[in-house]
Structure 1
């Protein structure tokens, strides 16, 4: 399995020591806010993640409903190093080659990985790439706006707060399962990481 090791991270500091046969206890009821029903209809959905925050987007990127609801699916994933991006790269590659969903994914899925501490063809924080317009220019899509764009955010508490400010600068408003809007933020499990 893949795991990004966050020093003293509440999950990864334990997860990295897991061995075959170890017991994993799961909650009987899933929790979280990253569900498509929490977003208003739109043209494009952005999945914005740092490090292990990509995990909830793995299932959303595999869900045919995502590609039926949105014309474009943009996965922005930022890690410190190129090596930490490998899970996301393989995930996207496998989706595009998947016999069941690959055709549906097609060109709709746009993957935009960046690093913050190593040289890479895309670098910098998600907030900087959004605020500067670099990601829009690189992908050939217009800047975010309330009419067309939806977003889901998963990362550290500091990252989530910073991204929320950027999304709001584009006119997007935070929603919830009970009140869908333009973006949602995962709050079930956040720490003070990256």
Structure 2
């Protein structure tokens, strides 16, 4: 049974009306980049809880979460309204196997996300392990609107810190945006447009992590398999490691 850790909100940054980042101060706890915890609020309807990936890297003094507000949801609209000093509970210990230790060696590492699925990758970017293991890292973020392209300043800091090692490729499907591609991920991979834009190969010597909505993962995985990549399993190591967000 999960144990609960009390936390206090230190910041609630609204990227736009339906997307926000929540920072919570807690006692220190251990986790691996890519893992998740549950956030919980006690309400008149009882305890409401849901799993969210940690955006911050291990060792941070605050825990951070990127959350999309679900209009018909019970918890996310309440989390969006939290202010500095408000209380929220976090489950312990952190969970999940969407971590770098589960990813085999490769010539390059593709971190492909849709929407809030970029969260665990931001946590990984703040670890030494990522940069030591892979000479070329490609962060692909597919979103609907320009306003969904979050944490660009932070990503830019990593590009400056590790020159030539990280390529960031935004994809915006419903608006035109300079530097962004504007087609669905499977189409971009199948045509080779994504690989050309990122100047990296996608083959059976690549490692790919997929995080986001199930449709994106299903269709992108199918396209990657057509290129000769295989799903990564502990009993049969491959190239594609997945995390579905719902």
CA RMSD across the alignment: 2.1
Residue 170 in 1 paired to residue 227 in 2? yes
Checking the alignment, whether the CA contact within 8 Å between 2:138 and 2:198 is kept in structure 1 is no
Structure 2 gaps of 5+ residues are 1-12, 21-66
Counterpart secondary structure, 2:91: coil
C-alpha distance after superposition, 1:125-178 (max 9, x if no partner): 222211211011122223x111x2001111012112112112211222222456
- Aligned partner of 1:31 among 95, 102, 110: 95
Counterpart secondary structure, 2:88: coil
Distance in 2 between the 1:12 and 1:163 partners? 28
More strand by share: 2
Higher RCO, Cα 8 Å, sep 6+: 1
Give the TM-score normalised by the residue count of structure 2: 0.66
Q: How does 1:4-153 map to 2 (within 5 A)?
A: 5-8=68-71, 12-87=76-151, 89-97=152-160, 102=161, 105-121=162-178, 122-142=181-201, 144-146=202-204, 148-153=205-210
Aligned length: 180
Structure 1 gaps of 5+ residues are none
Distance in 1 between the 2:159 and 2:200 partners? 21
Distance in 1 between the 2:219 and 2:164 partners? 29
Pairwise CA distance, 1:13:
4.0
Q: Give the greater-gyration-radius structure (CA).
A: 2
